[in-house]
Amino acid sequence: MRAFVFPGQGSQKVGMGGELADASAAAREVFEEVDEALGQKLSAIMREGPEDQLTLTENAQPAIMANAIATLRVLESEFGVKLSDAGGCVAGHSLGEYTALCAVGAFDLATTARLLKLRGQAMQAAVPVGDGAMAALLGADIEKATALAAAAAEGEVCEVANDNDPTQVVISGHKGAIERAVALVKDHGIKRGVLLPVSAPFHCSLMQPAADRMAEALADTPPGPLALPIYANVTAAKVSDPDEERALLVEQVTGRVRWRESVLAMRSDRVESFVELGGKVLGPMIGRIDKDAATTSLITLEDLEAFAKENG
């Protein structure tokens, strides 16, 4: 069985989607529809920058989604490979879970763009700039990261945000606590701690105001039926029920991204290959989680053509 997976924040870069848009009307239509839904020329920021505008959470989230969905639409319309026929399930990393839901028809493209714009704005507004931070712990497994976070908290929030793979865990919380954690890494047998260039402490309890805003938004625009099941970030379990998934999307704002566990769950459910659409971030993580899992990243027209030839 094959899983289609969708990248999260950090995979954005100036120029993203430009080649596809130049080559395919299907891709251009995606970017135009997202621009219209948001009332802004997001496609111009994606193509030309400036980088600091693209990196803004409220722009990066819909931009990464738009790029991945454009890649999927080109695969489906130009090369005749339908996701629902070629795949058995989907998953996405953080905002990528929304992209995955768009890919399986639970949200239409315009709704997904608006939800991600709001999600980015709400996450940014939840904590004053400078009060929160995140750090990647390199050479850390989940047990070491959890122990470090507990030791560094000292009454502040310091929580595991992303369990990415066996060698990388991300922590999130109050700036002071995260800085203490980085200073303590060696004491906990962790190779290195690196502060991340993010504008807010995502996926921790400080994000509760953003979770509340997403609960309201998702009550108004709930997901519809899913063409394929999705593996949810916060449970690392397969979900097919739209109401269950809606509740999990709200939890996801403050909850841990259980990516490593999600990949292992898909592997135990007989997923043999993973296809990442619109990025090359998750494939390497999956390889570190299970070296026997086959991974493919589809970014360029050439990637799509090669994949279609092999799977036509």
The pLDDT, as a whole number, for residue 300 is 94
- Tokens 């954005």 -> residue: 12
Cβ pair 173, 156 in contact under 8 A: yes
DSSP symbol at 233:
T
Q: Look at residues 168, 179, 173, 175 and name the one whose alpha carbon lies nearest to residue 145.
A: 168
DSSP symbol at 7:
-
Residue 1, classified by CB atoms within 10 Å of its CB into exposed (0-12), middle (13-18) or buried (19+), is exposed
Per-residue pLDDT at 312 exceeds 70: no
Residue 118, classified by CB atoms within 10 Å of its CB into exposed (0-12), middle (13-18) or buried (19+), is buried
Taking only the tens place, the pLDDT of each residue in 203-246 is 999 999 999 999 999 999 999 999 999 999 999 999 999 999 99
Q: CA–CA separation, 296 vs 49, rounded Å?
A: 28
SS3 of 79-140: HCCCHHHHCCEEEECCCHHHHHHHHCCCCCHHHHHHHHHHHHHHHHHHCCCCCEEEEEEECC
For residues 20, 26, 31 and 32, what is the CA-based torsion angle, rounded to 10 degrees?
140
- Annotated catalytic residues are 94, 203
Question: What is the pLDDT confidence band of residue 169, given thresholds at 50, 70 and 90?
Answer: very high
What are the structural domains, with CATH classification, of the chain?
2-125+206-311 (3.40.366.10), 132-198 (3.30.70.250)
Check whether the bond before 50 is cis (ω within 30° of 0): yes
The pLDDT, as a whole number, for residue 311 is 85
Residue 51, classified by CB atoms within 10 Å of its CB into exposed (0-12), middle (13-18) or buried (19+), is exposed
Taking the chain, what is the end-to-end CA distance rounded to the nearest angstrom?
Answer: 15
Stretch 19-30: mean pLDDT: 96
Per-residue pLDDT at 308 exceeds 90: yes
